[in-house]
Amino acid sequence: MRKIIVQKFGGTSVADTDKIKNVAKVVIREKQNGNDVVVVVSAMGHTTDHLVKMAKMLSPNPSSREMDMLLSTGECVSIALLTMAIQAEGYDAISFNAMQVGIMTENIHSKARIVDIKTEKLRKNLEAGKIIVVAGFQGVTEDGEITTLGRGGSDTSAVALAAALGAERCDIYTDVEGVYTTDPRIVPNASKLAEVSYEEMLELAHAGANVLHPRSVETAKQFSVPLRVRSSFKLEDMGTLILGVDKMELYRPVAGVAADLSQARIVVCDVPDKPGIAAGLFTALAEENISVDMIIQSYARKVSNTNDIAFTVDSNDLPKTLATLDKLKDTLGASDVKVDAEIAKVSIVGAGMIDRPGIASTMFETLAKLGVNIRMISTSEIKISCLVDKTDAQKSLKALHTVFNLESDVVADVKGDLPDV
Amino acid sequence: MRKIIVQKFGGTSVADTDKIKNVAKVVIREKQNGNDVVVVVSAMGHTTDHLVKMAKMLSPNPSSREMDMLLSTGECVSIALLTMAIQAEGYDAISFNAMQVGIMTENIHSKARIVDIKTEKLRKNLEAGKIIVVAGFQGVTEDGEITTLGRGGSDTSAVALAAALGAERCDIYTDVEGVYTTDPRIVPNASKLAEVSYEEMLELAHAGANVLHPRSVETAKQFSVPLRVRSSFKLEDMGTLILGVDKMELYRPVAGVAADLSQARIVVCDVPDKPGIAAGLFTALAEENISVDMIIQSYARKVSNTNDIAFTVDSNDLPKTLATLDKLKDTLGASDVKVDAEIAKVSIVGAGMIDRPGIASTMFETLAKLGVNIRMISTSEIKISCLVDKTDAQKSLKALHTVFNLESDVVADVKGDLPDV
């Protein structure tokens, strides 16, 4: 049976007709490899911005249903144009919007989740030898309402299509060459990872590495779809393969380091050490739709029978957070609320750290030698994060990148027999 | 029961966000009159041209299916933006594309005909008090293929929706103020008609008056939908009402005069006067998709037993026509083929001429007094057309306009009780 490859091209890859012609060549190359090809595309370059601008000129607060009707047109333009470009090269191709395919979502506008993808029309057209071009970012409800999938939606469309079709692989073509050990703008000798696990990718994404939207990685993980992130302009570069940790040889404890400078720390001081206090606080924040990242509760002080609760939120949520705390001040009985926005979260991520002791201590020692004061620590199975002063972020990142040997990509090739593109 | 009014706004009426705001006001005004309103819009201004240009950059001959996918996006942008503008004024509104409504067409791309319109979703939303904004120009097949309706398609969408919903009236808002007795660019004292019959409108359109596409008028006639052509910028002007001739008082023999300068005349000389010659000729032309307008066959010459066949075609079809004639030359056995592209068809149109003798002779006399040589004549029940030299077209049109008293619009108001807007 022929293998199915799903390819996804973002807005910068289809920004103008010349770039669309380039994408057509990349698509055809995969078809020439003997694979069936399903292509997912985003809206051209600045189309979405232009549409949003017009909407804002007509309404201060346009309804999310009509925004979805509006924004979904961008992808419908790209799919038709790319299909024409492929046909012009002599290959049979056909475009479908989400409604035509049956990319079924929840009935929620602007951030719907895919619940099902009909594959009948896709399979019929693949069997007829056609290259299929599908509109990313959009879906449709049972009632025929058009929805969009929110940020990173086209990546999610591609991964979900790959899962539904049992595709061999999902290639995400983008304007970067792959996933790096850290942000090359901060650490110039960051190196590209040949492979990374879904879990590491998720932690890196949440820690500030924005190559793929976490939702698409979660979907790939859930359905074990191998993902490849690669450049549409450097085809000889195989990019980074993202796959299950079970399929990797864990030769390295740390896959990458990341810094997140968008957080703010809040310390609620001297709250009574009794059950329900923390629960009340974080439930109230959740009700306001505020995501809390790190949480530390100190040991209770024996004399006063109080403790401190420290946590971090996105800086944008700071005003809302303080307003919520103000409403709770009688219940909390706190002596003070301290806020610090001049902080950074520095993280090391690696599926290999699970079985290797000493990784955390190496991190702490490295920061200590630099004279960096650690304000908070949080750990998961594959990530260790330290909250430091914002001014210490860059040197911390560089030092950690060096100490964990991330300069050169020593990663072995993928095990097994993955097809080349 | 509340009356349903269908309104249609063309591309110039929604060319930018300010114009869309203006359209929202026109729509709301109709809603405030106590009517249910369904609005049909075209793509914004030059959107279609822009999309076509990109397509041509990608493919010399883009597939008509993908062109339909591409061009249908233009209307999807307009409907969302207009709906937002209406909502911003505090009115409940919802947009639907053709797929969502169920505007069912034949499975022919770029010029599909509507075969059915589902009204369930529309009625439900009207009952909920919503203003409905529908994408014009597009349709969908049983198989979920997106089609477009060809030139004048949005007018046809509006009329077909009005017919399906049993609407009180279909208002076509455009950049002209109505239907004129003739082209005001040629005859400056042309006057606006308060009413005109479907038949007259069809003959005027075919004779070169391009306010409405003939297909929309035919559909309106078929389903007896009263049509009003009016300006979206001069709301106090009631424009022109187009309705069944049975609903009009036929006070005037001639409703308008028109000139068509796009035709060419061909005379096939001395073909044998035997059965099947004309049929063979026009069947061959039809197979090449060439529309023939006027046809004159001379009386057979007794001595040679031959006659001449003269006909007119669109000048653009002239090369194809001559090539077809060349292929038939042995069968036809003609002595010569003469071509004249420097001609004009001047027509008078009026449903009232049916019962009034002398209209034709008045026309011929008027042209004779001007020294205009009539090359061909054709007549229908409500139209008389004379083929004249192109250089005679303007003076013929002016003289006919005067002799049939078209300077002032003497048309009485519509009989019966049509609602004002």
How does pLDDT run across A218-267, given as a tens digit for each residue?
999 999 999 999 988 888 889 999 999 777 766 678 888 988 888 999 99
Contacts of B54 in chain A (CB under 8 A): 17, 81
Chain B: closest CA distance from residue A102 (Å): 11
Q: pLDDT tens digit string along A165-187?
A: 999 999 999 888 888 888 877 88
Distance CA B136, CA B43 (A): 8
Strands in A169-174's sheet, in edge-to-edge order, are A93-96, A131-135, A36-41, A4-9, A169-174, A227-231, A240-243, A195-197
More confident residue, B46 or A175: B46
Rounded Cα gap, residues A327 and B390, in angstroms:
85
CB contact under 8 A, A59 and B97: no
Confidence of residue A421 (pLDDT cuts 50, 70, 90): very low
- A73/B69 CB distance under 8 A: no
pLDDT cut 70: percent of chain B above it? 95
CA distance A212 to A180: 12
pLDDT (tens digit per residue) in A42-93: 999 999 999 999 999 999 999 999 999 999 999 999 999 999 999 999 999 9
Q: Among all chains, which residue has been given the structure tokens 């075919």?
A: B206
DSSP label at residue A289: T
Chosen CATH of A4-175 out of 3.60.21.10, 3.40.1160.10, 3.30.460.10, 1.10.230.10: 3.40.1160.10
Instruction: Nearest by CB to A87, from B17, B59, B76: name it.
Output: B59
DSSP 3-state of A69: helix
Which chain B residues are within 8 Å of A60, Cβ to Cβ? 88
Which of the four pLDDT bands, split at 50, 70 and 90, describes residue B386? very high
> pLDDT-derived band of residue B40, with 50, 70 and 90 as boundaries?
very high
Averaged over B379-388, what is the pLDDT? 89
CB-based contact B17 A57, cutoff 8 Å: yes
- DSSP state letters, A308-335: EEEEEEEGGGHHHHHHHHHHTHHHH--S
Spell out which chain A residues touch chain B, with contact meaning CB-CB distance below 8 angstroms: 17, 20-21, 51, 54-55, 57-60, 62-63, 65-67, 69-70, 72-73, 76-77, 79-81, 83-85, 87-88, 94-95, 97, 99-100, 121, 144, 146
Question: A65 and B99 in contact by Cβ < 8 A?
Answer: no
User: Are the C-beta atoms of residues A29 and A86 closer than 8 Å to each other?
Assistant: no
Interface contact B69-A95, CB threshold 8 A: yes
Residues in chain B closer than 8 A to A69 (CB atoms): 76, 79-80, 83, 95, 97
Instruction: Report the alpha-carbon distance of residue A223 to residue A63 in Å, rounded.
Output: 33
Question: How far A173 CA lies from chain B's nearest CA (Å)?
Answer: 21
Q: Model confidence over B25-36: pLDDT tens digits? A: 999 999 999 999
Each residue of B123-132: pLDDT tens digit?
999 999 999 9
Q: What ipTM does the predicted assembly reach?
A: 0.82
pLDDT of B379: 85
Domain residues of chain A, as ranges?
A: 4-175
pLDDT at B13 over 80: yes
Global pTM value: 0.82
**Residue A84 to residue B55, Cβ atoms within 8 A:** yes
Q: Do A60 and B88 touch (CB under 8 A)?
A: yes
- Are A85 and B59 an interchain contact pair (Cβ–Cβ within 8 Å)? yes
Alpha-carbon A177 to chain mean position: 16
Q: A interface mutation test: which of B73, B78, B86, B138 has the most A CBs within 10 A? A: B73
Report the CATH superfamily, name and number, of domain B4-250. Acetylglutamate kinase-like (3.40.1160.10)
**pLDDT tens sequence across A81-130:** 999 999 999 999 999 999 999 999 999 999 899 999 999 999 999 999 99
Q: Which of B55, B63, B80 sits opposite A70 (nearest CB)?
A: B80
Q: Which two tokens stand for residue B180?
A: 């004129």
- Which residues in chain A have Cβ-Cβ distances shorter than 8 Å to B99? 99, 144
pLDDT category of residue A306 using cuts at 50, 70 and 90 = confident
- For residues B323 and B367, what is the distance between their CA atoms, to the nearest angstrom? 34
- Whether A5 shows a pLDDT value over 70: the answer reads yes
Question: pLDDT tens across A182-209, in order?
Answer: 887 788 888 888 999 998 888 886 555 5
The DSSP letter of residue A87 is H
pLDDT exceeds cutoff 60 at A419: no
| pLDDT, tens digit (0-9, with 9 covering 90-100), for A331-359 | 888 888 999 999 999 999 988 787 777 88
Mutate to test the interface with B, among A14, A61, A81 (most CBs of B within 10 A): A81
Place of tokens 């419908």: A76
Minimal Cβ distance to A100: which of B51, B77, B144: B144
Q: Which residue has the tokens 């990509």?
A: A409
Residue A178 C-alpha, separation from nearest chain B C-alpha, in angstroms: 29
Angle at A380 between CA A377 and CA A381, to 5 degrees: 140
pLDDT score at A173: 94
